[in-house]
Structure 1
Amino acid sequence: MLMPFGGIAEMDEYGNRPAKEEILVAVSGPLQHLWMIGLSFLLLGSAFWTEADHQLFLFHNIAILLFNLLPVLPLDGGKLLFSFQSYVLPFHKAYQSTFILSFVCLTALSFLSLFMLPFHLNLIMVTTFLWVHQYLEWKQRHYHFLRFLLERKHIKRNKKNYLLNVSPALTVAQAVKNVHREKELTLLINKNQVIQEKVLLDAFFDRYKQTQPLSCLLKGDW
């Protein structure tokens, strides 16, 4: 998708693509600007590429590069922030944290642009687009999380195990917020009872079980 500040790569894996792969995809955008800058230096001095062309090209590419690295969704910086966080944190927490940081950064950017470049049309268009995206991202946050869990429910499980000690009073809906994109969750209850991630997800997608405590799942009351 092309935007005033460059392109946006849309991915439909809903967080189930390995974080390392998403990092590589997000980094490819900034790297493109770097090789273009390098090419400009190589062409410098040729008959068709003057110093003025080089300086203008350099300015715009560096500006777009730095802008794209801002930790704001859906910019590359925002995607990198989410990928790094989701590598070590549960998906729900990483998504929530990324959105909050994205909101704070975009607010700061909006105030800076308002005071420093109040009549910059392109900047107004870009910040408006980013605010619309923030609103839509917030509105659809539950949908994205559900898509992540739904796809997670059907993917092949060959991930590292993640053991988490939880209370039996925790509900199924609360427990799924601990599902990790890089690890397979195993809930440890009362130090000697476990609930595997697949069992937890099966229970979550049964609407009658979402609000039930994990203790019911252990007792087989369902």
Structure 2
Amino acid sequence: MIKFRGIVWSVHPLFVIVMLLSAAAGRFAELITLFVLVFVHELGHVVAARSFGWVIREVKLLPFGGVAETEEAGGMPTREEAIVAIAGPMQNVWMAALAWGIGKFGIGDPAWANELVEANMLIALFNLIPIHPLDGGKLLQCLLGRLMPYHHAMAWTIRISITLSVLIGAAALVQQLWPGGGIQLNLLTIALFLLATNWMQRRHMPFLFIRFLMNRERYARKRMDRGASAAPIVVRPEAALHSVLKDFRRDAVHLVYVTTARGELLGILPENELLHGFFASANPNRPVVELII
């Protein structure tokens, strides 16, 4: 674990296992190459995030990339998160292009250059699979966040991630059914890791949603300064406060219209009043109409 410029850099236990297996097999060159590629990949995320003023607490390196923990989780625009997510694979693209040029013009060993191209493209393409916490999973949540409320986008991202993780694990196991085939242990290990990560993400959804709400109030002024779109929410008086908050969209500023079944307007609540009412109350299921009376 190393702390540099306020960011804690650490190696995930899964990467440690890969490194130990590589060392035991005497594949030191491949190990060092993988570490450098993953580090540069993750550095791309860090530089992009810092350019938007994000505060990054920790970066954990994985065999196929890394996971960055930020204070802005869910609080920043989907556009910024999408750029930060794609910044990692883009590092592998330019490194692959550089390696191809080295091999093409005879600057280095063509065989080594070709392996470097393949490694970079494998890391880039794998990271673009729409599974959390891969970059593709983050892009998927950004896309869903443009189409539906944040809570729904998060829930669907986890569902899709779990489904795809199971399919990858099944693909690793089915290899043994083919002549000369066998279980792909590396792929199976990664699939199990992704499945476990998303299963934990599913269990932690209430906490993650609370963090989103806390960051939403914290960055409300920034959203308004960026010209976030206004999105009205129409609810009935008996609607639970917590359920109304689940309709909040990431890139919008909300006004909540409380109406009767006949369409009579009882009141209009800005989103910050709902947030204050939620965090100040011991009952998250209190009717939203209580904030008007």
Does residue 170 (structure 1) correspond to residue 239 (structure 2)? The answer is yes
C-alpha displacement at 1:35, in angstroms?
Answer: 0.5
Aligned residue number for residue 12 of structure 1: 71
Distance 1:202 1:49, change over 3 A: same
User: 1:67-216 alignment to 2 at 5 Å?
Assistant: 67-116=126-175, 118-157=182-221, 158=224, 159-190=228-259, 192=265, 193-216=267-290
C-alpha displacement at 1:47, in angstroms?
Answer: 4.7
C-alpha displacement at 1:108, in angstroms?
Answer: 1.1
C-alpha displacement at 1:36, in angstroms?
Answer: 1.1
Q: Which has the higher strand share?
A: 2
1:186 touches 1:196 (CA, 8 Å); kept in 2?
yes
Given the two structures, how large is their TM-score scaled by the length of structure 2? Answer: 0.69
Return the letter of the residue paired with 1:143. F
Q: Percent identity?
A: 29
Where structure 2 has 5 or more consecutive residues not aligned to the other structure, the ranges are 1-59, 177-181
Whole-Å separation in 1 of the counterparts to 2:149 and 2:100: 44
Return the letter of the residue paired with 1:198. N
Task: State how many pairs are aligned.
Answer: 218
Moved more, 148-157 or 136-145: 148-157
User: 1:34-45 alignment to 2 at 5 Å?
Assistant: 34-44=93-103, 45=105
Q: CA RMSD in A?
A: 1.8
Local SS of the residue matching 1:9: strand
C-alpha displacement at 1:10, in angstroms?
Answer: 2.8
Whole-Å separation in 2 of the counterparts to 1:214 and 1:47: 68
Q: Greater RCO between the two (CA within 8 Å, min separation 6)?
A: 1
Q: Deviations over 1:91-128 (max 9, x none)?
A: 10110111111111111111111112753333233223
Distance 1:156 1:164, change over 3 A: closer
Local SS of the residue matching 1:150: helix
Where structure 1 has 5 or more consecutive residues not aligned to the other structure, the ranges are none
Given the two structures, how large is their TM-score scaled by the length of structure 1? Answer: 0.90
